[in-house]
Amino acid sequence: MSNQRQLVLNLFIYPGGHHEAAWRYKGSEPDRILDITHYQELAQRAEASKFDAIFFADGPALADNVRYAQRLRFEPITWLAAIAAVTS
């Protein structure tokens, strides 16, 4: 058995950001939240950087705290199909 440890990298995609005001950050692109090519580009960048996986959590289409930030997202089958089409 080998004693070598291996680091596994995973890109966690959370469309609205992890902070309710993330969309206000100067470098953010809130208009791309429902642009599927944005997520395809993220997946391609992760793949090119040798990440092992991407992850996005599925949840209700409209969360109850929508008044604080954008909470819309694609449903998983559309998201996965679009990402699979541009990655290996």
Q: Would you state the pLDDT for residue 68?
A: 58
Domain count for the chain: 1
Assess if residue 5 is contained within a domain. no
Assess if residue 34 is contained within a domain. yes
Strands 53-55 vs 10-12: parallel, antiparallel or unpaired: parallel
Assess if residue 4 is contained within a domain. no
Assess if residue 45 is contained within a domain. yes
Tens of each residue's pLDDT in the chain, 88 residues? 678 888 999 999 877 667 777 778 888 888 888 899 999 999 999 999 999 999 987 766 666 655 655 566 778 888 899 999 999 9
Assess if residue 3 is contained within a domain. no
Q: Would you state the pLDDT for residue 63?
A: 60
Instruction: Return all residues near 61 (Cβ < 8 A) that are at least 6 apart.
Output: 72, 73, 75
Q: Would you state the pLDDT for residue 1?
A: 63
| b/e map 12-28, b = 16+ CB within 10 Å | ebebbbeeeeeeeeeee
> Can you give the residue range of the structural domain that contains 80?
10-84
